[in-house]
Amino acid sequence: MTSPFDLSKPIAIGSDHAGFDYKEELISFLEGKGLPFEDFGTHSKDSVDYPDFAHPVANAVESGNYAFGILLCGTANGVAITANKHQGIRAAICWGDEIAKLVRQHNDANIICIPARFVREGDAEKMVSTFITTEFEGGRHANRVNKIACG
């Protein structure tokens, strides 16, 4: 698989209880593709708090030791709001394949956030596949991305 990400590094993946089933499906998908990953939890459908999983995934991606991140919760908003508190993170909510492509091309997103209660399982896999393989376009988009960070 050709990717702009360094796929010799693991993909960081995490979810809350609402995203648990899709996380497990996506892990099977990554295993099927032979892609390394680290599962930051949650590990069951018991109710949990999404920041407890979004912060560790964001820290992992920020560290540079992971290729990119995948986060899931019910709407994707909780995990995206949390992850985007990290200066080095551009966490993008995706609900369709075209969005997954555009957040890579235009926003250089490094975490894909999937709303598990609002997308179909197969769509989640397709979005992750598109996210992995799509290059950032740079140029005018780089000017904009370079203005995002605070401080």
Q: Would you name the residues annotated as active-site residues?
A: 73, 106
**Identified binder of ligand RB5 from the candidate list 13, 30, 67, 73, rule CB under 6 A:** 73
Q: Is 18 in the site for ligand RB5 (CB under 6 A)?
A: yes
On whether the CB atoms of residues 99 and 55 are closer than 8 A, the answer is no
Q: How far is the CB of 73 from ligand RB5 (least distance, A)?
A: 3
> Which region, judged by CB under 6 A, interacts with ligand RB5, from 3-11, 69-77, 128-136, 138-146?
69-77
Kindly state whether residue 50 participates in binding ligand RB5, applying the rule CB under 6 A.
Answer: yes
Exposure on the CB side of residue 47, measured as CA atoms within 13 A: 0
Contact flag: residue 14 with ligand RB5 (CB under 6 A)? no
- Cβ distance to ligand RB5 smaller for residue 96 or 138: 96
Amino acid identity for residue 121 in this structure? E
User: Is the Cβ–Cβ distance between 79 and 71 less than 8 Å?
Assistant: yes
In angstroms, the CA 22 to CA 121 distance is: 6
* C-alpha to C-alpha distance for 109 and 44, rounded to whole angstroms: 28
Q: Which residues of this protein are in contact with ligand RB5, per CB under 6 A?
A: 16, 18, 50, 73-75, 77-78
